[in-house]
A and B are shown apart, each in its own frame.
Chain A
Amino acid sequence: MNANSLFYELLEEQVKKLDDSIDQSIPFHKFSLSYRLKKRALLKAYLKTLNNSDNFDRSYRKLRFYQRIRIALLAAITALLLTGASIYVTYLIGGMKAKMYSDHSDVFSLDDENAPEFIEDNYRITYNLEGYEHIIVDNDEILYWEMYENETDRISFSFSPKSLYKNARLNTEFSGIEKITINGTEMLYFETENGYQCLVWDHGDYIFEFEFTVPFQMAEKIIESIQKE
């Protein structure tokens, strides 16, 4: 055996010893979802363009379904932010729907298809309000509005056809919206920061509004006194 052959024999022996010392089992590795999805897309594109390798790049880079969903969600959120969309809570009170935002509410009457377009009945407060100045603010075919005032208090009563009570902007920022029942009728109640209390309710063909600074118990009695003439 010449020197070269002996060298290679010894080298081979050392390599074999080294090889034997290495653990031959493949360690467990969990590939990420992203990696697995990319690998799947790669294989799919490869198989699809096996006979037309020029289209491989375009096939592989096409947006997958989950990517389109992600883009659509991002675009929708961006659009909402850009258009200033706001979050609101919906209340259904009597025959009305109220969308309560952080600083106000928009109120709509519902089910007004069969309600009159114009005022056909006269409703008036019959409670004795002697000592209050009586003011007729408006009285025509689409709104009746009267007020009773003295030095300290105001009572305001108005009604209009249901079809005209849409998108009424009410200041519910201070108290939010409460649903209360007076005389068996569900009413929307709110109060402004300076203590002006307001009630709105569906009275069949009309939407009634009642605003007051008098004590609530007195307001209830006044409301109960509202009669059709």
Chain B
Amino acid sequence: MKKISAVLAAILIYSSAFAIDTAAYTTEENINGVIVVDDINSASKISRLSISGKKATCKSTYSDRNSNISYVKIEQTLEKSTFGLFFGVSGTNWSKTVYSDYAVYTNSKANLECGTYRLKTVFTVKTKDGKTETITVYSDEKTVK
């Protein structure tokens, strides 16, 4: 019992230390000279998936009021559930870059197989002073019957 408690306590302490290290790594990480930080104040990000028959309409929206935004890149992937895990559907990787502080991106995919789907949207926002935000938002799951 004492050994089990000691092992779990060690994992607990290690994971706490690891979490702190991860946060520090994230704020200091440089990708191509750009500092990666968390949410940069963008008001709303929404990922919407609509199914009609065997056709999926994928719509992602980004909204903010920020004159410091250089661009917003929206990357969409339609994912299908297989044994409880989601994988990208072939031919459904879409990407668009908008030089504004608001954006909407719509794509569709027809002739879907039966199953459960969701839309994964990755929003990458870059500001004029070099900061970058990357947030992933998933839509609700929808079923094609």
Taking Cβ atoms with an 8 Å cutoff, the residues of A that contact B are: 63, 67, 70-71, 74-75, 77-78, 81-82, 84, 103-104, 117-118, 137-138, 140-143, 145, 147, 154, 156, 158, 160-161, 163-171, 173-174, 192-196, 198, 209, 211, 213
Contacts and interface: CB of A to CB of B under 8 A. Distances in A.
Contacts of B16: 81
Contact of A75 (B8, B19, B65): B8
Contact of A78 (B8, B47, B135): B8
Contacts of B104: 137-138, 143, 145
Complex A-B, nearest 4 residue pairs according to Cβ-Cβ distance, in ascending order:
A166-B140, A196-B65, A74-B8, A164-B48
Nearest to B142: A163
Contacts of B47: 167
A163 B102 CA distance: 23
Most A-side CB within 10 Å, residue of B15, B52, B138:
B15
Interface size class of B (residues with CB under 8 A): 35 or more
Contact of A211 (B8, B43, B49, B52): B43
B36 interface: no
A160 B61 CA distance: 12
B65 A194 contact: yes
Interface of B: 1, 4-5, 8-9, 11-12, 15-16, 19, 38-39, 41-50, 52, 57, 59, 61, 63-66, 102, 104, 106, 135, 137-140
B45 to A, nearest CB: 5
Contacts of B49: 164
Contacts, number: 118
Contacts of B140: 163-164, 166-167
Nearest to B16: A81
Contact of B19 (A84, A169, A194, A213): A84
A99 to B, nearest CB: 13
Nearest to A137: B104
A142 B65 contact: no
30 contacts: A74-B9, A77-B12, A78-B8, A81-B19, A84-B19, A118-B50, A138-B106, A140-B106, A142-B48, A142-B59, A143-B61, A143-B104, A161-B50, A166-B139, A167-B137, A168-B46, A169-B44, A169-B135, A169-B137, A170-B43, A170-B44, A171-B42, A171-B44, A173-B41, A192-B65, A194-B66, A196-B65, A211-B43, A211-B44, A211-B63
A143 B59 contact: yes
A206 to B, nearest CB: 13
Nearest to A207: B46
A137 to B, nearest CB: 6
A198 B44 contact: yes
A103 B16 CA distance: 20
